[in-house]
Amino acid sequence: MTILITGGSKSGKSHIAETIVTASGLPCVYLATMMPFGEEAHAAIARHRAMREGKGFVTLEQYTDIGTLDLPKGSAVLLECMGNLCANEMFSAHTPRPVQKILTDVKTLSRRCDLLVIVTNQVGEDGVLYAPETMRYIKNLGEINWGIAQEAEMVIETVFGIPVMMKGEKPPCLY
């Protein structure tokens, strides 16, 4: 099963994703995609590690090429976050067709685990025009989110920590 969790910055996406993954009863894998560059990134990484502490997660750091991962049999994977993965593929790996590559990698990853929960961000809703490179990132992430949402069994938008079901039934662990 694939679940996509979206929402604005600091909306509670990670908490909801962790709740779903840990409630699954499966071995929990945290797939970290944030490259540790700069103080802000290190602070975010530390915050997320603290949130997962004692919850039984095994952390795998994979900044690109998520389709190549070897996962434990029958695992629940929390991919955090698609926005970072998109930027990594576009700017670090210089992937020529990042949207197609990421969507293919997500399908491959979803076949290798029993549960895949993907955290993403809603970007581009502010109506502001940015530099061309940033606009390309916004477009790509939007296309990736759309593609994953089409394939996912469940899509949740997080608003002020509240899960709003966009597709599928609310998991019992969120009541």
Question: Quick one: which of 150, 165, 161 has its CA closest to 2?
Answer: 150
Q: What is the CATH number of the domain that holds 43?
A: 3.40.50.300
Decide if 170 is inside a domain: no
Residues forming a β-bridge with 61 = 32
The tokens describing 137, both together, are: 């990132």
Domain of 148 in residue numbering reads as 2-8+20-123+130-161
Asked if the structure places residue 35 within a domain, the reply is yes
pLDDT band at 106 (very low <50, low <70, confident <90, very high): very high
Q: Please state, in angstroms and rounded to a whole number, the distance separating the CA atoms of residues 25 and 165.
A: 22
Q: For residue 56, how many other CB atoms are within 10 A of its CB?
A: 10
Report the largest interatomic distance among the alpha carbons of the chain, rounded to a whole angstrom: 44
pLDDT over 90 (residue 36): no
Number of domains in the chain: 1
Structural domain contains residue 96: yes
Q: Quick one: average pLDDT of 56-83?
A: 95
